[in-house]
């Protein structure tokens, strides 16, 4: 490529080009092209124009020729370029979508990108683009559990009612235990987090024993009463109930939400319940631990304190749990349940019918 045109700029074009350069809202490429034409009109050598504009000589020749052919409007408009590869036909996209939603051939359970690309005869990246555009993720699978409790609807309405509209002069507690929390000590120290690298933790560990966390979440203010005990039998559960009994002010009715663990229904627990008339137990439906609010607290303490923790002994683990509960209670917030019971039951009705 070489210079084939001589740039001649009239007074009107010169004023317009200067206006483009002085417009701070213009894209940089527009001001750069206008500057090329003005410098060329001053009969500067191409090398000098390229140096002042910060571009190559072929680029200077290109925009000189564009101005000669199309004027200033040609400088402000980029040429459309044909795609490097023709877009996939609509029938091919539809075929990929149909196959993805159907059973894969052979003895496999789901499609992979490479398997789909091999079957339909397109590239892996093309398959991935189609899946991304249509929000298809064959590699992912979500599990669900349908409760077979015959009293599911009444229990859900009862517990959701306690969350949404608790009784006056009463305390609503979500109670459960997190058993077999392991006190794990790593065999060597990990490396801390640093820019560009995540923290590390050795896979090997030393197991120093376990503890069980009994916790009661007060849904009205979000505070937690917790006790760590070596086992989770009815004896430890009764000790925990007595601790709650001492912590809750006299004169308030206590509505306790619990799951169907056998410890919660032990004859001695039932006898304790009869001896404490201000307590009312509300059992969750079977296979429905998600409705128990304290499960959210267990998830948080597992992710934020236990899973990455390094504990030299069981007392060290128990001390860490106690400190976490204390910090949580300093900034506790009321538990807010957002799903009405009708919405939950309506979603259950949309699930497929059980096969057995």
Q: Which pLDDT belongs to residue 3?
A: 63
Residues ≥6 apart with Cβ < 8 Å to 92: 120, 122
The answer to whether the CB of 223 falls within 8 A of the CB of 329 is: yes
Q: Which pLDDT belongs to residue 1?
A: 54
Q: Is the pLDDT of residue 321 over 80?
A: yes
Q: Which pLDDT belongs to residue 149?
A: 86
Q: How far is CA 96 from CA 88, 91, 123, 132, 141, in A?
A: 11, 9, 12, 12, 19
- Give which of 52, 77, 70, 54 is closest to 5, Cα–Cα: 70
CA dihedral 203, 206, 208, 212 (to 10 degrees): 10
- Percent with pLDDT over 70 in the chain: 97
221-246: per-residue pLDDT in tens?
Answer: 999 999 999 988 999 999 999 999 99
Please list the alpha-helical segments (H only) found in 23-165: 28-41, 46-53, 57-75, 90-100, 113-120, 124-133, 152-164
Calculate the average pLDDT of the chain. 90
Give the separation between CA 256 and CA 162, rounded to whole angstroms.
10
The answer to whether the CB of 223 falls within 8 A of the CB of 335 is: no
67-120: per-residue pLDDT in tens?
Answer: 888 888 888 888 877 777 778 899 999 999 999 999 998 889 999 999 999 999
**Residue tagged 């919660």 (tokens):** 264
Q: Which pLDDT belongs to residue 221?
A: 92
Q: Which DSSP category does 107 fall into? A: S
Q: Which residues pair with 1 in a beta bridge?
A: none
Q: Which pLDDT belongs to residue 259?
A: 92
Q: How far apart are the first and last CA of the chain?
A: 78
Exposed, middle or buried: residue 310 (CB in 10 Å: 0-12, 13-18, 19+)?
middle
The answer to whether the CB of 231 falls within 8 A of the CB of 220 is: no
Q: How far is CA 189 from CA 32, 192, 203, 210, 309, in A?
A: 56, 9, 11, 21, 11
Give the separation between CA 211 and CA 58, rounded to whole angstroms.
75
The answer to whether the CB of 176 falls within 8 A of the CB of 215 is: yes
Q: Do you know the residue count of the chain?
A: 356
Confirm whether pTM is higher than 0.75.
no
Handedness of CA 47, 52, 55, 59 (dihedral sign): negative
5-17: per-residue pLDDT in tens?
Answer: 788 888 888 899 9
Q: Is the pLDDT of residue 260 over 70?
A: yes
Encode burial over 57-81: b for 16+ CB neighbours within 10 A, e otherwise: bebbbebbbbbeeeebebbeeeeee
Q: Which residues pair with 133 in a beta bridge?
A: none
């Amino acid at each position: 490529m070489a210079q084939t045109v001589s740039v001649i700029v009239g007074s009107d074009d010169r004023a317009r080009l200067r206006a483009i350069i002085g417009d701070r809202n213009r894209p940089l490429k527009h001001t750069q092209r206008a500057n090329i034409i003005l410098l060329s009109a001053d009969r500067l050598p191409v090398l000098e124009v390229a140096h002042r504009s910060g571009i190559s000589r072929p680029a200077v020749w290109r925009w000189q020729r564009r101005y000669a052919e199309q004027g200033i409007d040609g400088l402000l408009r980029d040429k459309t370029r044909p795609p490097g590869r023709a877009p996939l036909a609509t029938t091919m996209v539809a075929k990929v979508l149909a196959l993805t939603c159907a059973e894969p051939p052979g003895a496999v359970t789901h499609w992979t990108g490479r398997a789909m690309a091999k079957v339909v005869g397109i590239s892996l990246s093309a398959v991935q683009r189609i899946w991304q555009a249509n929000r298809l993720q064959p590699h992912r699978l979500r599990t669900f559990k349908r409760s077979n409790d015959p009293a599911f609807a009444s229990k859900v309405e009862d517990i959701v009612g306690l969350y949404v509209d608790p009784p006056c002069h009463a305390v609503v507690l979500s109670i459960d235990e997190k058993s077999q929390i392991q006190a794990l000590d790593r065999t060597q120290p990990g490396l801390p987090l640093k820019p560009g690298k995540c923290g590390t933790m050795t896979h090997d560990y030393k197991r120093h024993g376990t503890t069980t966390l009994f916790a009661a979440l007060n849904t009205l203010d979000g505070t937690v009463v917790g006790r760590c005990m070596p086992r989770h039998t009815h004896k430890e559960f009764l000790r925990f109930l007595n601790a709650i009994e001492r912590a809750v002010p006299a004169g308030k009715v206590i509505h306790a939400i619990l799951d169907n663990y056998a410890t919660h229904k032990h004859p001695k627990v039932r006898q304790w319940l009869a001896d404490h008339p201000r307590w009312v137990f509300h059992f969750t439906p079977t296979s429905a631990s998600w409705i128990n609010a304290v499960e959210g607290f267990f998830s948080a303490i597992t992710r934020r304190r236990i899973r990455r923790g390094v504990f030299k002994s069981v007392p060290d683990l128990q001390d860490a749990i106690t400190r976490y509960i204390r910090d949580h209670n300093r900034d506790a917030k009321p538990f807010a349940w957002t799903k009405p019971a009708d919405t939950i039951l309506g979603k259950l009705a949309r699930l497929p019918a059980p096969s057995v």
